[in-house]
Copies of this chain bind each other. A is one copy, B any other.
């Protein structure tokens, strides 16, 4: 029991002073490896990010940063993993004791990492919702509520015919869940309010957006409200609408689901539902810490109680310049 003992034992003032002076003088740094070996905790949290850099990059980045800073506030470090290594990375990192816990980003509905998470002796937290959340701890934005919220806002302004411009088709095929959930929320609320809607996936490119818009106004010329959930489509959308002589918000109202930074940097500041990336990262770490604490509390470190925790963050809509009253029906 050499030194300061991290306050686990009561220490008298003189001893503590003596020790702390020596620490200063010798430039002492406790050795991480030795500490990990003796205590069987590394004080490291692994964060597994998607390698794919084609979607929501700023959001991913912000989550990672929030995880890193929050972890440090709790005295933990973060190990950065990518999914290129495959699901086995979970076993490698946990099995070797390199990390005490894991945070998984970009969780898919049937995620290949889930079996490993279930058999892992260490706590994990998912950012995103898989199909079956049983026994898991998850954080995510409540995308169903997000969809409903967007519809509510447009409905209050008198819009009756809506269109959703979603993520690229590939995103839906990958079953990432969040895209579908938003659409479901929109559908529900549209049905409840007796409105009409159309849904078109869209890549980030101008061509793709041009196509999507053409099909929308072709099938439903009366469309006056658009909900976009696709960061990179926002710029093209606004440019094209302007090019087509459709004024925002006089002719068309636009609600985006995107980070605030994107919403405020466009030509017309966008009414939007923010993606609370920072809070998602922070919450994930806090849930991890809670689970780590709980594990230690159990006398003989009983197997974790296999609790299911799903923390859905409530969406918040910020009204900016891109939404307004529906134009009067001229006819």
Interface residues of A (CB under 8 A from B): 27, 29-37, 40, 42, 44, 47, 49, 51, 53, 57-58, 60-62, 64-65, 68-69, 72, 77-82, 84-85, 91-93, 95-98, 204-206, 232, 235-236, 238-239, 242-243, 264-267
Contact = CB atoms under 8 A, between A and B. Distances in A.
Contacts of A236: 265, 267
Contact of A98 (B47, B57, B77, B243): B77
Nearest to A82: B68
A47 B97 contact: no
11 contacts: A27-B95, A29-B92, A31-B97, A32-B36, A32-B96, A36-B37, A51-B65, A51-B69, A57-B58, A69-B84, A204-B265
Contacts of A40: 33
Contacts of A205: 264-265
Nearest to A92: B29
Nearest to A28: B95
A270 to B, nearest CB: 12
Top 7 A-B pairs ranked by shortest CB distance? A33-B36, A29-B95, A33-B37, A32-B98, A32-B96, A80-B80, A78-B80
A96 B30 contact: yes
Number of copies of chain A assembled together: 2
Nearest to A207: B267
A232 B69 CA distance: 25
Contacts of A267: 206, 236, 239
Contacts of A243: 242
A107 B98 CA distance: 29
Contacts of A47: 80
A33 B84 CA distance: 24
A228 to B, nearest CB: 15
Q: Which of A33, A37, A82, A84 has the most CB of B within 10 A?
A: A33
A294 to B, nearest CB: 23
A314 B205 CA distance: 29
Nearest to A30: B96
A87 to B, nearest CB: 14
Contacts of A58: 53, 57-58
A53 B37 CA distance: 36
A232 to B, nearest CB: 6
A203 B263 CA distance: 15
Given A36-B36, A265-B204, A49 B65 contact: yes
Given A36-B32, A42-B32, A239-B267, A69 B82 contact: yes
B61 A57 contact: yes
Contacts of A206: 265-267
Nearest to A85: B72
Contacts of A36: 32-33, 36-37
A48 B238 CA distance: 37
A61 B65 contact: no
